[in-house]
Amino acid sequence: MTPTPASSVLPADHPLATPSELPYGLPDFSAVTDAQLAEAVRAGMAAQRAEVEQILGAATAPTFENTVRAFELSGQLLRRSAAMFFTLVSADGTDARQGLAEELSPELAAHEDALLLDPRLAERVAAIDGAGLTGEDARLLEVLRRRLDLAGAGLGEAERAELGRINTELAGLTAAYTRRLVADTAERAVLVTDRERLAGLSEDDLASAAAAAREAGHGGADGEGRDEAGPWLLTLSLFTSQPWLASLEDESLRREVFEASVGRGAAGEHETLSTAMEVVRLRLRKARLLGSASWAEHALKDRAAPSTTAVEELLATMAPRAMANARTDAATASAHAGRVGGAVAPWDWPALSAAYARERFAVDAGALRPHFELDRVLHAGVFAAATALYGITFEERPELAGRLYRPGIRVFEVRDEDGAGVGLFVADLFARSTKSGGAWMHTVRDAADALDERPVVFNTMNVPAPAPGRPALLTLDEATTLFHEFGHALHGLLAKGEYVSLSGTHVPRDVVEFPSQVNEVWLREPALLAEYARHVETGEPLPAGTLDRLEAADLWGEGYRTVEYLGATLVDWAWHSLTEDTVEAATADPAAFERRVLTEAGIDPELVPPRYGTGYFKHIFGNDYAAGYYSYIWAEVLDADAVEWFREHGGMTRQNGRRFAEELLSRGETRDLLESYRAFRGRDAELEPLLRRRGLVEAAA
């Protein structure tokens, strides 16, 4: 195959007519308009079709080199331009970009189908004798064959045509769901004009809320406003339970914030439920075409979990035990607050839980924030742990940050112990109204020797931006998320291999969270904590005994947190386990179906609502976690077991990091991840460490 030069399908002066000349191929976001990006994506599709046509039209017999490797290396213009475009859609998704995404997503789905469902490709790949292949070449052939099978390449012509129509429609619907959710989340933010209602919030919280109000156009007559005069805007995170709820003393305001959160997508201009239900029905139709009874059954064909029964057994083991713990914790917190009858509303739980923890364990999460200044946590915590374990170092490159899409985004060059370049790490950490909720990692370049390419990895979060001149302070949860997302970044940065399709985080969905969850453990490494958790004004470390108190308090509220997660997992699994006999009744009343699923699993949604509701569950209706939200707990089985190995072998040492990197982080999909885990651990993972961590060993079943 002869690659199609971008300059042959784009104007010579187009900013993407040639690959970026910036270090590591960092895309120059500052040099391209939305219209030019859309033009490049469409040109990239045309270029890849021409490249693949060369492969499929060749008169020579199919070989690994002229078919599998050639197909893997095709489409580089599309890959570069699509990575840029969807970075912007997620992190700075203006109305115009969201609209373009709704246009382009169906086109991209149709393009992928045109390639994968072409019977000539399946025939050529099937004809290749893989007996002489070894290593990554053998693995790439195996992965491509599985990909073609799951895509439906073996279907008849009529079925392939129907599948293509479904995929195109699904792409448009998931883009529409995301656009509406982003808009509704911004619209439902709670505006407060009476400062007394904000009692309990810190001065930094108030300043952030005032800044958010100004950015949203709620300032004074001159558009400026003053922090002390308000108004204040309580923006919403992606979760059901909002961070504000732990601090606000006004119960009516807590309820208002909570109801704004759970009401997202239910009605109005940005309603998402009808879109979600159409997605559910279409996914089932697709699964049936591909020979499965449900989408969950189809999805597990490309996962580490061996069967739907295995997933359901894990959830059934945990849900009733966790709910029992949640009820006990709710009763304890209610009694501590002097409430008659023990009733705890979901908007009250965060405040009651925090109050109990302050008294019982002498742990005040709010009081810890001045010790978690973002820049220090990043450098003396996250980066320092990576240096200790993996020998890599970080140098900020402010001149490259100027090539990105918003001020305040930071770029770091990563080098190994010998000083050789590893890649770039990009940190886009502050919330903005055009950014999707939550936190995530993605790559715009990958470790791939076949392309002579090094990784460019993004971590994106939604930390409230501080007021001008003030430091950014993290909650303990936000600090944990920073370590978590950087665990994903390490999976991309430390990858080694020949092909993009086998590199870094290109692993089964239900194990991709494993390395990131392991990285969370270093947040509390005593020597590291002593360096990064210092008071932002005095430089003093955490008060003596804080770590011991945090660890003593670990299981407090764990039942509630586990049920929040399991509730969302059960909702996802239930929607995608529907069959032809059950789908119409379920989708006719999504709220009733969601309640029934939770109560039948032993969960009380009036006490512990799921982490996400159907109307704002972007993971499964806007991203690719459908029938996959169980992945976090499935991966945590590996994580909890691996953390025990680290503890048994001395913790955060270079020797331990070298082993973890060599056997797991660097491997990606170059071999089966569970095989990599066995090479690292010496055996399969065991469930017991997870149950102990979650406080479920002694809980009543």
Q: At what angle do helices 558-575 and 308-336 cross, to 10 degrees?
A: 140
| 267 inside domain | no
* Residues 25 and 171 grouped into a single domain: yes
Rounded to whole angstroms, what are the CA distances from 411 to 190, 544, 578, 588? Answer: 33, 35, 44, 48
Per DSSP, 189 falls in state P
| 700 inside domain | no
| 698 inside domain | no
Burial of 4 by CB count in 10 Å (0-12 exposed, 13-18 middle, 19+ buried)?
buried
Boundary of a domain, candidates 235, 262, 289: 262
What pLDDT digit, counting tens, does each position of 92-133 carry?
999 999 999 999 999 999 999 999 999 999 999 999 999 999
- Contact of 220 with 266, CB cutoff 8 Å: no
What end-to-end distance do the CA atoms of the chain give, in Å?
A: 60
Boundary of a domain, candidates 262, 282, 299: 262
- Secondary-structure percent of the chain, ordered helix, strand, coil, rounded to 5: 60, 5, 35
Highest mean pLDDT of the ranges 20-29, 311-320, 681-690: 20-29
**Per-residue b/e over 280-305, b at no fewer than 16 CB within 10 Å?**
bbbbbbbbebbebbbbbbbbbeebbb
* Residues 433 and 489 grouped into a single domain: yes
Residue 247: predicted pLDDT: 94
| Marked catalytic residue, from 51, 485, 636, 669 | 485
Domain count, the chain: 4
The answer to whether residue 564 scores a pLDDT higher than 80 is yes
Cα-to-chain-centroid distance, residue 164: 27
Q: Higher pLDDT residue, 701 or 118?
A: 118
- Give the contacts of 95 (CB within 8 A, at least 6 positions apart): none
Nearest-5° angle of CA 32, CA 33, CA 39?
95
Tell which residue, 486, 495, 389, 374, has the closest CA to residue 431: 374
* Residues 592 and 656 grouped into a single domain: yes
* Residues 148 and 12 grouped into a single domain: yes
Boundary of a domain, candidates 133, 156, 183: 183
* Residues 196 and 324 grouped into a single domain: no
Q: Mean of the per-residue pLDDT values for the chain? A: 94
User: What CATH number is associated with residue 93?
Assistant: 1.10.1370.40
Pair of tokens at residue 435: 């950014």
**pTM confidence score:** 0.89
* Residues 256 and 150 grouped into a single domain: no
DSSP 3-state of 190: strand
Residue 223: predicted pLDDT: 45
| 222 inside domain | yes
Lowest-confidence pick of 61-65, 339-343, 647-651: 339-343
Residue 239: predicted pLDDT: 93
* Residues 543 and 410 grouped into a single domain: yes
* Residues 375 and 465 grouped into a single domain: yes
* Residues 621 and 679 grouped into a single domain: yes
Radius of gyration of the CA atoms of the chain, in A = 25
* Residues 437 and 512 grouped into a single domain: yes
pLDDT band at 610 (very low <50, low <70, confident <90, very high): very high
Q: In what order do the strands lie in the sheet with 421-430?
A: 393-396, 410-415, 421-430, 456-463, 440-445
The answer to whether residue 221 scores a pLDDT higher than 50 is no
Q: Is 485 part of the annotated catalytic residue set?
A: yes
Domain that holds residue 219: 188-262
